[in-house]
Amino acid sequence: MYLIKTPRVIQKLFPTFHWRAEHATAQPTLYLTFDDGPIPQLTPWVLEQLAQYDAKATFFCVGNNVRRYSSVLQAVVDAGHTVGNHTMHHLDGWKTDNVPYFHDVRHCAKQLKTTLFRPPYGRLKPSQAQFLQRHYEIVMWDVLSGDFDPELTPDDCFDNVVNNARPGSIVVLHDSLKAEEKVRNVLPRLLAHYHKLGYVFDRLTPELLTQPAALSDVQLKTA
């Protein structure tokens, strides 16, 4: 079970996690994030799509993929996107003891210089969160496309984003084989749709995430 839009009550329960980027920007901004890559089958195509709109994004990488496909990772970085740690082996924090979990995060950190972290499945025990927050900005999301769900069509995924995203939203997509078919359909449509609405697409950085929240009135009106 998962929720397309992260309810405010959950966001409030974990106020130190980043659910949305609530700082003032000149134009309404979306923060697209791609989890589980990089992979040669899809990530280069994602980069091409983003480049067509001068869009920047954030890639939460699995260390094992970074190790295998270092040139794909290099292309992501060279294109000006940011990368985040998504553990070495995509571990579920709820099912993993702290010591092996932290070891896996550190293993990924050896492949990837970043202070952004997203827990696989969005799952962390409180003790894991407490420790990781000393070293990382923990980046969650407020909108899931659902591209990983075999029950959903590409249209469902497109609608999930369009019906729920607003300025500052952090949107989850995947550069994984499981999501490939949907991402190839939905990403170009999302870029075109929000571009037409006057949005820009930016990357998440630790500096941006720790700025004080202050969405302008102009942005709220366009929401």
Which amino acids are annotated catalytic? 35, 174
Binding range to Zn ion, per CB under 5 A, among 36-44, 142-150, 198-206, 208-216: 36-44
Question: Least Å distance between CB 50 and Zn ion?
Answer: 19
Of 30-38, 76-84, 147-155, 179-187, the window that binds Zn ion (rule: CB under 5 A) is 30-38
CA-atom Rg of the chain in angstroms? 16
Query: In whole angstroms, what is the distance from residue 192 CA to residue 188 CA?
Result: 6
Considering only residues 113 to 172 of the shown chain, the ones binding Zn ion according to CB under 5 A are 120
Q: Which is nearer to Zn ion, 144 or 190 (CB)?
A: 144
Query: Based on CB atoms, which residue is closest to Zn ion, 36 or 104?
Result: 36
Of 91, 48, 54, 84, nearest to 66 by C-alpha is: 84
Q: Which stretch, 27-35, 41-49, 152-160, 178-186, contacts Zn ion (CB under 5 A)?
A: 27-35
| C-beta closer to Zn ion: residue 36 or 142 | 36
Check if the beta carbon of residue 110 is closer than 8 Å to that of residue 131: no
Q: Does 63 bind Zn ion (CB under 5 A)?
A: no
Backbone angles phi, psi at 102, to 5 degrees: -65, -35
- 141 and 172 in contact (C-beta within 8 Å)? yes
What DSSP string describes 125-177? Answer: -HHHHHHHTTT-EEB--SEE--TT-TTS-HHHHHHHHHTT--TTBEEEEE-ST
Quote the least distance from Cβ 120 to Zn ion, whole Å. Answer: 4
Using CB under 5 A, pick the residue from 35, 137, 147, 175 that binds Zn ion.
35
CB of 148 to Zn ion, least distance (A): 8
Q: Is 30 helix (H, G, I), strand (E, B) or coil?
A: strand
Residues 64/70, Cβ–Cβ less than 8 Å: no
Minimum distance from residue 205 beta carbon to Zn ion (Å): 20
Tell whether residue 36 is a contact of Zn ion (CB under 5 A).
yes
User: Hunting for tokens 């996107």 — which residue is that?
Assistant: 81
Binding track over 82-121 against Zn ion, x by CB under 5 A: --------------------------------------x-
Nearer to Zn ion, 59 or 194 (CB): 59
Is 155 within 8 Å of 147 (Cβ atoms)? no
Q: Which is nearer to Zn ion, 182 or 219 (CB)?
A: 182
Which positions lie near Zn ion, rule CB under 5 A? 35-36, 120
